[in-house]
Amino acid sequence: MANCHHGSCYTAALMNEKCFVDLTEWGGLLCDTAMERALIIGDSGGIGNAVKAALEARGVAVVGLSRSQDGLDVTSEASVAAALGALHGSFDLIFVATGALEIDGHVPEKSIKALAPEALLAQFKLNTLGPAMVLKHALRLVPKDRRAVIAVLSARVGSIGDNGLGGWYSYRTAKAAVNQIVHSTAIEIGRSHKEAILVALHPGTVATRFTEKYAGRHKTVPAAEAAENLLTVIGDLRVEQTGGFFDWAGKEVPW
């Protein structure tokens, strides 16, 4: 166990360590490393790859799956079932980092008049159906005897309550839908996995190919920094927060 006196459990939280009150003269916390294995879905993308690198730097054994490297197609249940069915053991963290803002040349709509049925359906397939299929087939990889976190990348623009600008119909709607998938699945998983935490996370505006055309005046952060932020949030999550939607700073995002 590592002594976490004077708040150094910030670093421990990144490792998903369990901390206990230290009643010795140090008066700090004692931490027991809990995260040993992590699964990253979409580890070839900017955020997924950065999270993988950050975890590996901390000694966590990481399994990564992606379309470009492993042929994983999250829009196909058969592909998801085969990829996850080949895995064994359990994971302390399952991080779903798949998604896209532009699909098949369809850009975010500024007006309802620009909404194309195929664009909306494509967004649902990748950004809603994809994570839903991962959750469906990853449940057997979640331990029942200890804390585990399943984090699905969402986006603040998927928040209905925070939407004051309109537009971006396809992407917003798909992200709002995946938030509902996360919330409902968290309720179900909580019945059988008492220490499991399933959340949707908004990573902020990350400097990747995904956002370079749309960042505008929004401040962007490097993928490595975004990964550190997200891992801090993941490390600090409590069981009673399962089913929630949080941003990169750990603040709850309205539905």
pLDDT computed for residue 24 by the predictor: 37
Q: Which CATH class is domain 35-247?
A: alpha beta
| Residue 32 three-state SS | strand
pLDDT computed for residue 220 by the predictor: 84
Distances, alpha carbon 138 to alpha carbons 82, 179, 186, in Å: 11, 17, 13
Contact 231, 51 (CB under 8 A): yes
Tell me how far the alpha carbon of residue 62 is from its chain's centroid: 15
pLDDT of 218 over the 60 cut: yes
pLDDT of 219 over the 90 cut: no
pLDDT computed for residue 208 by the predictor: 72
pLDDT computed for residue 10 by the predictor: 38
pLDDT of 203 over the 60 cut: yes
pLDDT of 198 over the 70 cut: yes
pLDDT computed for residue 207 by the predictor: 81
Q: Which tens digit of pLDDT belongs to each residue from 6-57?
A: 333 433 444 444 454 444 333 333 343 469 999 999 999 999 999 999 999 9
Residue with tokens 């331990």: 143
Q: Copy the structure tokens of residue 216.
A: 């505008």
Comparing C-alpha atoms, which of 72, 221, 230, 101 is closest to residue 170? 101
pLDDT computed for residue 1 by the predictor: 35
Domain boundaries, the chain: 1-34, 35-247
How far apart (Å, rounded) are the C-alpha atoms in residues 69 and 49? 12
106 contact partners, CB below 8 Å, separation of at least 6 = 116, 118, 119, 122, 170
pLDDT computed for residue 13 by the predictor: 42
Q: Which tens digit of pLDDT belongs to each residue from 121-179?
A: 999 999 999 999 999 999 999 999 999 999 999 999 999 999 999 999 999 999 999 99
pLDDT computed for residue 22 by the predictor: 40
pLDDT computed for residue 74 by the predictor: 98
Please provide the size of the chain in residues.
255
